[in-house]
Structure 1
């Protein structure tokens, strides 16, 4: 297939690279002219065959909205927009409705895999009308590892699933962070956190990719002394908690993990340094150095 990719940052570049490696053609546009492959969105769209497919990989919120409007103005009936970013599900449902009124299909593709996705594959949680998803499914099958893609439901279902995924991620990171903080506090034992992460990854019930990344992080900096315990929140954690409140679902762990990130901006706790290190390992998220 031939598609347009808007947004060539870490994720957009990784998606483009994996698609191209499998034989798909990608025409990439970015606001940063140093990395953009074409001069404008209009030029990008002009190079696409019908039905034209444009994948948005830009930050959520106003940027996604303005980018979608710019792309849609160049598209026609039967074309398809894929939003692979972390958009708020309520915005996604509205955008799907607005584009449907113009005869343009909208597919929301919750995308997970971080900076390792190009090599290992991206987990894709896809929402949208079945006919539209079927047209672009070859892209999803290329991008995902085996069994790592599913059409989970109608418009909004993909981003809702990805939102909850990220909420769970918050909770898992917080659990590892608090555990390693407790180990770190036991100075009388002089525990080697890199060693402990390593043995936990072999046979224990908490073995996981996040724990492998913790092992890598401790190998680089045994006490994470070079990092500040400052952790941003992407917005999806907040939306997860808001949805839980609206639906009357007990999500205490997810809520507390979000609140802990707020606290991280006031102190320099070791647990927050663990989370900062792990987010940098899996997503390339920036960290604050001491």
Structure 2
């Protein structure tokens, strides 16, 4: 099968390589000339514009977007849709908000273009291990694209599937990332407690390796944690600042909208926000209050 890949950043380029290895024809477009040259070096083709990309693909076309969520995705779609014909398909593999996906799917439907949302997990390991694909959209369109999904997934019969209509794929990926927040926070807190129990002198990497095999808390995240602890057990040179992609916030907002309690995911998000406050006014005020009511000492900066 042939596919147009729009966005040849690290993840898009890796997905293109996996498709090429699977025998698909991939034509890539990226504003960066070096990114276009890279896909050619791996056996793909490159287009210098969206117009050229569409012209190089036979109908019905399939174009995979791997660009940052939000305004860039909107601009790309607005430029792309006028170039497409009825029966073509656009797959959004980024971390788009599902509300945006529903709007874009309606816009595409006006031109009888299939809009498929594909929540994609696997990160930098996807090229070697395969990607977990949560797919939303018209069932017939997803079936036509089956060869692409089977190649990108860990295996043809696992790690991917159509989970519902338009928006369902990105919704499932949003919740996936919310769960990820909670898992990561639990691992981080547990290893922090172990590190602070200085009298036992725990080797955190050793413990992570023990837990990786047979333990009920074993997981791919624990595998990656073990790798990180092997490289830098004291986390030297790493600032205690944790960013978020936005999907944890969306997950918490959905929980509130649906009246579903999600305390672990919510607290994990709040801990990330807290990590960015280098000069916490709230903590200063807490110290001042303790001094006021109990005469407790205040640590001066």
- TM-score normalised over the length of structure 1: 0.91
| Contact 1:229 1:267 (8 Å CA) reproduced | no
Q: Does 1:117 align with 2:126?
A: yes
Aligned equivalent of 2:216, options 201, 205, 208 = 205
Structure 1 counterpart of 2:81: 72
Q: Does 1:222 align with 2:233?
A: yes
Aligned equivalent of 1:50, options 59, 77, 88 = 59
Larger Rg: 2
Q: Deviations over 1:32-82 (max 9, x none)?
A: 122123211111111001001100001100011111111112111111000
Name segments (4+ residues, structure 1) moved above 6 Å.
none
Highest relative contact order (Cα 8 Å, sep 6+), 1 or 2? 1
Matches within 5 A, 1:178-257: 178-257=189-268
Q: Does 1:91 align with 2:100?
A: yes
Q: Does 1:107 align with 2:116?
A: yes
Can you give the 5+ residue segments of structure 2 that lack an aligned partner in the other structure?
37-45, 280-301
Aligned equivalent of 2:68, options 50, 59, 71 = 59
Q: Secondary structure at the match of 2:117?
A: strand
**Would you say how many aligned residue pairs link Structure 1 and Structure 2?**
268
Q: Deviations over 1:215-256 (max 9, x none)?
A: 110110111112111111001111001111111111111111
Between the aligned partners of 1:43 and 1:142, the Cα distance in structure 2 is 25
Q: Secondary structure at the match of 2:91?
A: strand
Between the aligned partners of 2:278 and 2:235, the Cα distance in structure 1 is 15
Between the aligned partners of 1:7 and 1:157, the Cα distance in structure 2 is 23
Between the aligned partners of 2:18 and 2:186, the Cα distance in structure 1 is 32
Q: Deviations over 1:113-164 (max 9, x none)?
A: 0101011110000000111111111100111013101110100010000000
| Contact 1:84 1:110 (8 Å CA) reproduced | yes
Structure 1 counterpart of 2:17: 17
Can you give the 5+ residue segments of structure 1 that lack an aligned partner in the other structure?
269-290
Which has the higher mean CA deviation after the structures are superposed, 107-116 or 69-78?
Answer: 69-78
Alpha-carbon RMSD across the aligned residues, in angstroms, is 1.1
| Contact 1:77 1:103 (8 Å CA) reproduced | yes
Q: Deviations over 1:1-44 (max 9, x none)?
A: 11110011111011100000010011111121221232111111
Structure 1 counterpart of 2:168: 157
Between the aligned partners of 1:76 and 1:149, the Cα distance in structure 2 is 27
